[in-house]
């Protein structure tokens, strides 16, 4: 098997690259270890807690014991399926804050400032929410990725935004437009009642061109001859074979698997590779380093009225919702139920939001287990820019062995201060008049958990990953010893090899990572094709005029 371009990973970025290359008439082959994304568990938005807990669709990674979180091993789901993590995620669509990308450029990712990436966001989007507020000039209108808003019929969803305003925060009618800061409606990658994954948006249209093939295989390593990537060694149906690439190999295999593949291919820290008997092709000590994530807590409140989704948690209602979705793509099954959001600043002197809220009108965990209390609601809350850094390293030179994942969560003392602030600010929002008709007692952490020490104990025991790993193949200047790829996504020190996915983020962006991962695929495809980048944007984002002296 051979192609001009071989892409490892049919995930968010890989599908976008496949689409743009195939549309340009290139011969593309995509390698994906996972199987089909057909079926209601993936395609029905409300079923989102199922696929990320199913071995069929998830790589099943977990961290090493995290020393600052009671040595807990935390789940690190990554999509092992057509569409990658865009097929198992919560479908929340957040571009990131303008300042995130300006920071990337400051860190050596020239050409990736906000003015550079905004045109790619517009190119990829087909935004449907223009009737409900926001400025269409900031959004794309004919891209492959459909972005919509939920129906927002639940009274709690509106109460959350109202409570934010009562607490003195800004409202924003489009956090993906000019003003991220504030309380407002969530955007989602949902279209016509189904999950609009990268597979639905990009891969299927790519295959229809006749220029893109997908093969189910497990990528073991990149073949590098005389300093140039020439193909990929894969296992397929129990047989090891080589798929050759006449032009380039593009790794888009996730922040966990992309550095693993580079290291197995001889690209990484020379001493680490030597420990595993891997000949060094390029000594890049930054491979696998700079691992980042968002941690979050669920702050849960009992509800005094039966207005929450708990009503529908009985088998009868689940069956009815499933049937409505299956036969008409209508009803509660068509929403991810994350319909209200907020981005706020933790204190005066913070220039742009560093805390994100996801509001949910039910008290539930990601694994689908509801609070024993019955009716309730919750906010997922966490800091956006932790200084803690971890690493992905090899446990073995055997490709079949999962890598060692250490996020080093909460290792920076500021993380504790930030999380305590998150809890206290959430309580303040829930205490506003808008929630008065619905507000019962606090389920979690519980009213008695007040002191710094008590809050720290709660954080240690209950903080969970928001499943936003990134940064392990950091993009930077070609002469930066810790950069892995240059600003055109080329692996430094190897010809014909690129990495394009969330692993190249120099620093984690504000919010969920699916949108910026797709944007990376969009922009990388222009670099691969040798095209001039899209013209820079002139829009200036909103920054709170009193940010230096006020928290809200």
Across 384-494, where does the E strand assignment appear? 391-393, 404-406, 439-444, 464-465
Say yes or no to pLDDT of 439 above 80: yes
Instruction: Give the CATH number for residue 81.
Output: 3.50.50.60
Beta carbons of 352 and 543 less than 8 angstroms apart:
yes
Residue 89 marked ligand-binding:
yes
Is 357 found in the same domain as 488? no
- Please give the structure tokens belonging to residue 44: 């029905």
Band (pLDDT 50/70/90 cuts) for residue 132 is: low
Please, which pLDDT band fits residue 367 given cuts at 50, 70 and 90?
A: confident
Range list of β-strands (E), 67-177? 75-76, 125-127, 145-147
- Point out the least confidently predicted range of 277-286, 356-365, 478-487: 356-365
Residues 63 and 162 in one domain: no
Query: Residue 53, annotated ligand binder?
Result: no
Same domain, 345 and 479: no
More confident residue, 374 or 494: 494
Are residue 181 and residue 195 in the same domain, yes or no?
Answer: no
**Nearest C-alpha neighbor of 285 from the set 540, 76, 483, 46:** 483
Residue 496, phi then psi, degrees to nearest 5: 70, 20
pLDDT of residue 129: 75
CATH number at residue 175: 3.30.410.40
Same domain, 179 and 299: yes
Residue 393: inside a domain:
no
Residue in 380, 468, 527, 544 annotated catalytic: 468
Name the 3-class secondary structure at 252: coil
Residue 65 in this model has a pLDDT that exceeds 70: yes
Distance CA 527, CA 543 (A): 31
Place of tokens 């149906």: 237
549 is a domain residue: no
pLDDT of residue 366: 67
Looking at the fold, whether 217 and 173 belong to one and the same domain comes out as: no
Distance in angstroms (rounded) separating the CA atoms of residues 329 and 454: 45
For residue 372, is pLDDT > 80? no
Strand residue runs (E) in 262-386: 267-268, 282-283, 295-303, 340-344, 355-360, 376-383
Q: Kindly state whether residues 1 and 56 are assigned to the same domain.
A: yes
Spatial neighbors of 72 by CB under 8 A, at least 6 apart, are 65, 66
pLDDT in tens, 137-192: 999 999 999 999 999 999 999 999 999 999 999 999 999 999 999 999 999 999 99
pLDDT band of 131, cuts 50, 70, 90:
low
Binning pLDDT at 50, 70 and 90, where does residue 373 land?
A: confident
Place of tokens 């060094």: 280
Residue 406 lies in a domain: no
Q: What is the pTM of this model?
A: 0.98
Tell me, yes or no, whether 236 and 101 share the same domain: yes
- Dmax of the chain from CA atoms? 70
pLDDT of residue 336: 95
Residue 91 labelled as part of a binding site: yes
Whether 552 maps to a domain, the answer reads no
- Residue identified by tokens 């007692």 is 441
Position 502 in a domain: yes
The pLDDT value given to residue 370: 78
The span from the CA of 187 to the CA of 94, in Å, is: 7
Number of helices (H), then strands (E), belonging to the chain: the values are 13, 24
What domain range includes position 36? 1-134+190-286+471-542
For the stretch 296-354, pLDDT in tens is 999 999 999 999 999 998 889 999 999 999 999 999 999 999 999 999 999 999 999 99
- pLDDT in the model for residue 356: 98
The answer to whether residues 181 and 361 touch, using CB atoms and an 8 Å cutoff, is: no
Q: Is 81 assigned a ligand-binding role in the annotation?
A: yes
User: Do 438 and 483 belong to one domain?
Assistant: no
Residue 441 appears among annotated catalytic residues: no
Task: Note whether 315 and 237 are same-domain residues.
Answer: no
Assess whether 115 and 202 both reside in one domain.
yes
With CA atoms as reference, report the closest residue to 34 among 270, 190, 181, 203.
Answer: 203
Q: How many residues does the chain have?
A: 552
> How many folded domains does the chain comprise?
2
Taking all residues of the chain, what is their mean pLDDT, rounded to a whole number? 96
Q: What's the pLDDT at 52?
A: 87
Distance CA 198, CA 527 (A): 20
Looking at the fold, whether 440 and 509 belong to one and the same domain comes out as: no
């Amino acid at each position: 098997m051979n192609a001009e371009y071989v892409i490892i990973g049919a995930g968010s970025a890989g599908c976008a690259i496949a689409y743009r290359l195939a549309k340009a008439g290139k011969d593309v082959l995509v390698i994906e270890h996972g199987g089909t994304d057909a079926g209601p568990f993936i395609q029905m938005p409300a079923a989102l807690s199922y696929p990320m807990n199913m071995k069929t669709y998830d790589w099943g990674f977990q961290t090493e014991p995290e020393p600052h979180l009671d040595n807990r091993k935390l789940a690190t789901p990554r999509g092992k399926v057509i569409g990658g993590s865009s097929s198992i995620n919560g479908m929340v669509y957040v571009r990131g804050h303008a300042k995130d990308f300006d920071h990337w450029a400051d860190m050596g990712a020239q050409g990736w400032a906000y003015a550079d990436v905004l045109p790619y966001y517009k190119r990829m989007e087909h935004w449907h929410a223009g009737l409900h507020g926001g400025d269409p000039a900031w959004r794309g209108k004919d891209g492959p990725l459909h972005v919509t808003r939920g129906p927002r019929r639940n009274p709690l969803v509106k109460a959350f935004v109202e409570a934010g305003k009562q607490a003195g925060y800004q409202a924003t009618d489009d956090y993906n437009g000019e003003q991220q800061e504030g309380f407002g409606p969530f955007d989602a990658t949902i279209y016509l009642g189904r999950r609009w994954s990268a597979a639905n948006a990009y891969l299927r249209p790519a295959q229809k061109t006749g220029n893109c093939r997908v093969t189910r295989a497990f990528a073991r390593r990149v073949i590098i001859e005389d300093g140039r990537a020439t193909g990929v060694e894969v296992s397929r149906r129990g047989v090891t074979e080589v798929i050759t690439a006449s032009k380039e190999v593009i790794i888009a295999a996730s922040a966990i698997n992309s550095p693993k593949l580079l290291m197995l291919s001889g690209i990484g820290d020379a001493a680490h590779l030597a420990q595993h008997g891997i000949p060094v092709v390029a000594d890049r000590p930054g491979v696998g380093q700079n691992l980042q994530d968002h941690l979050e807590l669920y702050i849960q409140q009992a509800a005094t009225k039966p207005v929450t989704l708990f009503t529908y948690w009985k088998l009868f209602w689940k069956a009815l919702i499933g049937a409505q979705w299956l036969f008409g793509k209508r009803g509660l099954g068509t929403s991810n139920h994350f319909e209200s959001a907020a981005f706020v600043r933790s204190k005066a002197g913070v220039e742009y939001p560093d805390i994100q809220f996801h509001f949910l009108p039910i008290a539930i965990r990601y694994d689908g287990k509801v609070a024993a209390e019955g009716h309730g609601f919750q906010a997922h809350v966490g800091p956006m820019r932790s200084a803690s850094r971890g690493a992905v390293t090899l446990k073995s030179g055997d490709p079949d062995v999962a890598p060692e994942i250490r996020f080093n969560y909460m290792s920076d003392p500021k993380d504790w201060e930030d999380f305590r602030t998150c809890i206290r600010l959430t309580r303040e929002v829930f205490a506003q008049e808008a929630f008065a008709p619905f507000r019962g007692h606090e389920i979690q952490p519980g009213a008695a958990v007040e002191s710094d020490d008590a809050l720290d104990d709660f954080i240690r025991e209950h903080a969970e990953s928001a499943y936003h790993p990134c940064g392990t193949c950091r993009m930077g200047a070609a002469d930066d010893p810790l950069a892995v790829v240059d600003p055109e996504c080329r692996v430094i020190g190897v010809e014909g090899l690129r990495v394009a996915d969330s692993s190249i983020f120099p620093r984690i962006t504000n919010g969920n990572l699916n949108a910026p991962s797709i944007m990376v695929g969009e922009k990388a495809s222009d670099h691969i094709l040798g095209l001039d980048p899209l013209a820079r944007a002139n829009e200036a984002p909103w920054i709170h005029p009193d940010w230096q002296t006020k928290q809200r």
